[in-house]
Structures are given as structure tokens and as C-alpha cells.
A and B are shown apart, each in its own frame.
Chain A
């Protein structure tokens, strides 16, 4: 990075009034920034910042820093920059940025700010820093035009890739870029534009990769090839904690095209990898995929469990029931006196809800490309956490951060699975052991049986109301398999991934008690869409419906009364506005025609959730015939603050809703004899077109609030809205996910 670039980078990081912008690294000033990967583009372009380059013909190259797992950030993040830049979107080319990192005396130094995908955080983070990136580039271009015309810059406007003088003269950004690149940014930084000037933000935009996708040209990780590399598949131990008992690989070695058989032993890997130890496995490396797969079938293998060889989810349910009879492992919250208030209550309601393990089952199974030499590592890694992937590569190779290139291609679904990097560690280990570049593929069966699953939980809820039906006492006991199990978290903190002490209705009920019970089970767990919110919202929002029916109240009115007058307080580290949640709920109810006549056999259900700073309410109308749910309507109303891309928010909420419905209806991972029972889609039947609503009516409430991500927001309230609608239609309360078995019995 030149001296000028360094100073410029600093100033871009200073927002309006010189305030430091959170997220982007100031210490990045003292070494070179790797350029955007421009290899395939023309070589005549001018860089205005790490994120923005402009070609003489005006074509504008904007970097997308976060991996796109389908949450649309390769479109939305560059549009935030492009709007501040007043770029012509039709002339914008979006380029994937690799992980921006350099070595700082043995420590990594991040260059481009946050570059992960997960927790629906990308948009909120981009709002903090990327606007200034675009504004700074626009400032430079305007200054360059001012010098060219000898006019004060304040009098110049910008529009769609042009700087425009008061007399109507215009200069294309392409003509100005070279001169602009020589200028220095003001010390005070450049403020983003006022919202009234937004031209792209708030307007619908299709996915920037749509054309490449429909033409089959968009390269996912495993679509790429290393010239002389091997394709690797691994036969893994089926037990969470197990080891190899017997191996004969002679038949596998004899398969034409098989080049190497490499064992991955847990001893070698554990301690190096950290979070999730690798499954012990036998890797088959071959010249092509088919040879590798054939070779794998020829391995004669036996595994044995070190622990938990008899583990089963049936026994786990019993363990939970037994535990729930006693005192919680961790008393999470205690307001007022639940026991007394419950005893004194006019009405008492109790119910138990079951949430199974589920898999991520990303459509693209895990894969990773790894090329490792003595002084360099190059990965093409479909990861949601490239920084952690970098840490793994460093631990395995001893290379400094500056010698490691991590490219993040489009990813065929993440949902939290790719926050764990076991598959990346495998690819690196194999590339090292084989001395050749590796393309590692997980087959669906590998993916299904070696996931980090959404935790299993049994929720027991009890509530007491007064004579008027006001909820005076609330108790939520949860026995679950913490996803922090075996992740270096002390036992006293294992509950933190399972419950939030301040999640609703905390603070709304005077006598309020939360308790968590630790279940012990040998199966790896991880973050799954809207972690813990999805499971807990199912229990809480179903239970509210049960309270309403038990006390002859309208479920909508009960919820609105509980939320009370609009006010704000802190929930999960962000500001929660009860008025915004009530508005979303009210709107969803209005849209579905709540309170109006329902056709015979139909039922309507409502539910709402606050998650990752966003508000969502679902309203569904369903009927049940022949053991199957028929969706007549599905409405989702969200408040995500300012909507950056309406088409994107619509897609995310539609997708989250349908995924949650598919999961609630049909999906479950079970364990018997220490092994996951589901291998592939027939046993883990993600819902098809005919089983889901034909449309999801998504409404985003207009708002000027700081935007938040919509990626997982459509998930938590969809399942309870469905359960509540099924109850309204049939009088049957479904308290155990997945619903399919009970529905079938209802006939």
C-alpha cells in the first residue's frame, strides 16, 4: 500500500466529524492491502480504495467482502457502497474479496472489516462502515472534477456515475478516476449522504450473480479444479467419540485412479483444531471423483465407540423427563416469586414441547479446495467464518497470516453449519500429507451424519393468570444438549447458548423463572438458523396460544396486552421496542383477516419473534386433510429497519419461513446405538414444492431505523404460527416437532 493509500484508508475509516467507525481496522495502515482479485478483468483501472476501482470506460468494480451463502450480501453490501458513490448500478461489477489479512508480528491484522456470514449481522455491520467507503470515493471524484473545471466542489452534483456541474456539463467517473486517485481525503473523514438522497438503497435489486447462476457458470468451491490435484473423500467414524478398530485398504488401493489412502487420526488433529475435533477417518485420494468414491466403497473398515456406543435419542428423552423433575442445573432467572404466584393463580396452564436434533443439510455439502506449499497456502473455502479458517490453517501449517490466501466463493447454503471448520482442517491436513492440491468432497451421507446439529431440547412451561387472564407467573424449564458442549466452555456457562435470560416474555411477567437442565449426549452440536430462538420461540409462542385458549382470550389480544404500551429496553444487547413488535403482529393479523370468519375446516394462527435486532410476525391459515397440512395463506410481516434491498428481504423472509415450516413438519435427526440414523434426503425429507405454501406474503414495515439482516428472521415464529393454526383448525395441539407423525395419526 502506498503512503497515499495508507492515509486514505485511515481517513475513510473516520466517519462524519472524525468519529472512528467501528469494525474496520485502523492498524491496517502500515502494510500492503492485497488488491481485489482483478486477474480476469481489464488491467486498466484505478483503485480509489480497497473496495472501489474504476475503469476508464466508467465500469465500476466494487468489492463484496462477506461470503454469500444465499443471504444476498454479494448484492446488498456493494449496493450500499454504490449508493454512497452515486454509481450507475448497471455499470457496477461485483468482485468477491478474499479474506483481507496481513501479518502483524505473528498476529493476523484484518484489512476489510468483518468478513463472516452468520447471525444475520452483515447488513448492520456494513451500515457502520461501508457507507463511508462509498462516500469517500465519491468525494475524491467530485474533487477531481472541481479541479478540472476550476469550480468549488460543493457546487458539483453526482448522479449515476457522473459528476455534474451547475451549467449541465458532465464528466464520467471513468474520466476522473486517475486524477481522483492522486488526491487526499480530508482529515475529518467523509460523512455518508442523508437518507433523502438514497437512490439504490430501498430499491429492489436482483441477485448480481443471477445470470451466471442460470447459465451454470457461477463457480461454487467444488466446481473449481487444481490442475494436478487429487479429489478426496473420507470414510469417517460414525460415532461422535470413536476410533478405528480395523482397516484393510488393499482393495481400495487396487481401484484404477486411486492414488493414496491417508488415515486422519484424531490424536494428530485434536488440540490443533480446537473447537470441533475431526472425526477419525480414512481418506481416499484419487484422480477423479468417481475413482475416489469407488475406492471408498472398497475400504474394509470397522469402527468402535470409545464412549456412548449405546447412546440413543429415545434414552435422551427419558433423561430429559427425569431431570426436569428435579432442580435446574442452572437457575437462569428468577423475578418475583413464581411458586407463590402460580399457586395463587386463578388459571394455571402447563405444557411440554419437544424439539429434536436437526441437521443443516445445506444443499451444497461441505467441501474445500486446499493448496499448501512450504511457504504458502491457498484455500477456496465455502466458510461462514474465514477468520477462524485462517486460524486453523495457521495452526496446521505454521504459516503467517500474510502467506495464506482464503477465497470465499458463493456458498450453497450455510445456516450456521459453516461456522465450524472441520472440513477445512481436513482439506489442509490432506493437502499437506499428499503434497498435492486437494479438492475435498463430503457426500450427502457424510454431511448428514457428521453435522453439528441443532440442539435437542424438552421445554416445560407453566403459567398462572389472574381472573382477568393477565399472565402473573411464568416458568420456562428447558432440558437441552448445549451446543457449547466440548467447546472449552465451563459447565456453569453451557446454558448461555440455550436460553437468553432477557428474552421475551422476560420483563413482562412479574413472577418469572427460567431454568436450564444440562443433558449429556455424544453428538456434536452447533449454531442452526437463529440459534436457540427458533426452538424457544416454538415453545413460548405455542404456550401463549395455549394460555389464551385456556383462559378464553383472543391470542392476538393476549399478546398485545402482554407487550403493553410501546416502550424500549435492552434485550440481547440491542434495543428492543415493544411497539415495533406489536405493530408487526397487528399488521400480520390484519393481513390474514384475524377476527373475520374462517372457512369451514380452516384455522388461523399467529406468532411473533424478536431476533438479531429484527421483528417478525407470522400469520397462517391452514387446514388438515388426510394427515397433511394445506396452506391457504402464509403472511410474514417484518421490521428490519431501513430496507436496503426489498427484493432481498422478501427472498430471505420467504426462504426462512419455508425452511422453518419444512423443518417443523418433517425433519428430525435421531440416534441409535451411538450413530445418526438419517443418511440422505429420503430419511431427512426436506419439503418439496407441493408440501409448502405456494406463496409467502412478505410485508416489510417502512422504517428509517438502522437496518438489520433478514437472513434468519423468518425462521423463529413460523413453526409456532403453524402449530397455532393447526390447533385452530383441528383442536389438536402439536407440541412435538416434527409434526408429521402426529398429523398422520390425525388422518
Chain B
């Protein structure tokens, strides 16, 4: 068999033109959405990024199962069209872990309090709790009452305990990077 010809690097590398579409970051990584700009973030995350932790349960911004953070603020991904997200930073439940991949304070508190029942609403609950702790690092019971997300299983009391536990844990430690 004849030896392969030596590989010669090209003299010039023509950079690809920047592709058309919506550029955004998800959990710290850059992505491009080149499809329908009306597509809600929820379906893009789930169908194209396979980030399926974010759930669908109402599609009309009522239940909170699809909650994600956009530039640190909680939004309903089911009502957030991709065209509003150019240059924005999206954090999903998959992005709540610490840099070393271990669970963040809230996630760990959720595990310790065994806060999930069926678990379906819990990604949204974690995001809502994260946002609450940003506003109220030491939340009162009344602050917890403002949590908006639905849980059909009735996990609310354990969610309350988990958030208080996370608040205590965070009080002693640096803020969760997410």
C-alpha cells in the first residue's frame, strides 16, 4: 500500500462567516439558534439541547415548572421566545451545580430534606428558590409564602425546610456561582 502523502496545512484559513441566528449562552456555554425565532426557550432547551430538566406543565406561565434564570432573573421558559434571548445568559437546573460538579447548596438541601415527591415540579422549584434566596438570603416564613410554583404532590413543607437549610448553609459559605 502506498504511503499516505504528507499533510500540508493550508496557507490561509478563511474563517467561516458568523452564522445567522440567535447567539446566547446556556449554563456558561455558547449556542446558536438558527430556527424559528418564535420558538419558546422551553422547547429549544428540551428538543435541541437535550436539557430536559426544565419541564412543561402548563405552557402559559402559570405553574413555574419551566422556570429558568435569564441573566440571573427567573423567567418562564414556556413564554420566552428565542428571539428575546440574543446575547443573554440562561441558567437551567442543570447549571445549578458547583464548578466541581457537586450539588449546589440548594440542591444539596433538597436532597437532605428529601424534598421531592414525584419530582416533576422540582427543577422549577429549585430555580424559584434560587431567585428567592437572591432577594432574601435569610428568608422568613412569610417570604417563603411568596413562592409561586405549583406542586401537585404537596411537597411544599419540605421545600420550605430545604430553602431554610440552604440559607443556613450559604450563610457560612461563598455564594453559589449559579
Residues of chain B within 8 A of A696, CB atoms compared: 157
- State how many angstroms separate the Cβ of B156 from the closest Cβ of chain A: 5
**Of A213, A225, A411, which contacts B122 at CB under 8 A?**
A213
A214 touches B60 (CB 8 A): no
A654–B144 alpha-carbon span in the complex (Å): 18
Q: Is A658 an interface residue (CB 8 A)?
A: yes
**Of A288, A655, A689, which contacts B47 at CB under 8 A?**
A288
B152 touches A686 (CB 8 A): yes
B156 touches A658 (CB 8 A): yes
A651–B63 alpha-carbon span in the complex (Å): 21
Give A693's nearest chain B residue, CB to CB.
B157
B interface, over-half SS: loop
A interface residues, tally (CB under 8 Å): 63
Q: Is B103 an interface residue (CB 8 A)?
A: yes
Q: Mark A205-231, 1 if CB is under 8 A from B, else 0.
A: 011011101111111101111000001
A122–B107 alpha-carbon span in the complex (Å): 29
A291–B156 alpha-carbon span in the complex (Å): 35
B152 touches A231 (CB 8 A): no
Q: Is A361 an interface residue (CB 8 A)?
A: yes
- State how many angstroms separate the Cβ of A351 from the closest Cβ of chain B: 29
B160 touches A694 (CB 8 A): yes
B114 touches A216 (CB 8 A): no
Give B124's nearest chain A residue, CB to CB.
A363
Q: Is B26 an interface residue (CB 8 A)?
A: no
Residues of chain B within 8 A of A218, CB atoms compared: 119
Residues of chain A within 8 A of B165, CB atoms compared: none
Q: Is B86 an interface residue (CB 8 A)?
A: no
**Residue among B103, B116, B146 with most chain A CB within 10 A:** B116
B57 touches A365 (CB 8 A): yes
Within 8 A of A (CB), among B37-80: 38-40, 43-44, 46-48, 50-60, 62-63, 65
**Of A209, A219, A411, A654, which contacts B157 at CB under 8 A?**
A654
Of the four ranges (under 10, 10 to 19, 20 to 34, 35 or more), the interface on chain B belongs to: 35 or more
**Of B36, B52, B157, which contacts A256 at CB under 8 A?**
B36
Q: Is B133 an interface residue (CB 8 A)?
A: no
**Of B38, B40, B106, B120, which contacts A413 at CB under 8 A?**
B120
Give B47's nearest chain A residue, CB to CB.
A288
Residues of chain B within 8 A of A647, CB atoms compared: 114
- Interface window among B2-10, B16-24, B90-98, B167-175: B90-98
Residues of chain A within 8 A of B92, CB atoms compared: 216
- State how many angstroms separate the Cβ of B79 from the closest Cβ of chain A: 13
**Of B40, B112, B116, B148, which contacts A213 at CB under 8 A?**
B116
Q: Mark B140-154, 1 if CB is under 8 A from A, else 0.
A: 010011111111111
Can you name 28 A-B pairs with beta carbons within 8 Å?
A: A68-B118, A69-B118, A70-B117, A70-B120, A206-B112, A207-B119, A209-B116, A210-B116, A214-B122, A215-B97, A217-B53, A223-B52, A289-B47, A290-B38, A291-B36, A363-B65, A363-B151, A410-B119, A412-B119, A413-B152, A413-B153, A651-B158, A682-B60, A686-B152, A688-B148, A690-B146, A694-B156, A694-B160
Kindly list the 5 A-B residue pairs having the minimum CB-CB distance in the complex, ordered from nearest: A216-B53, A70-B118, A412-B120, A658-B154, A223-B52
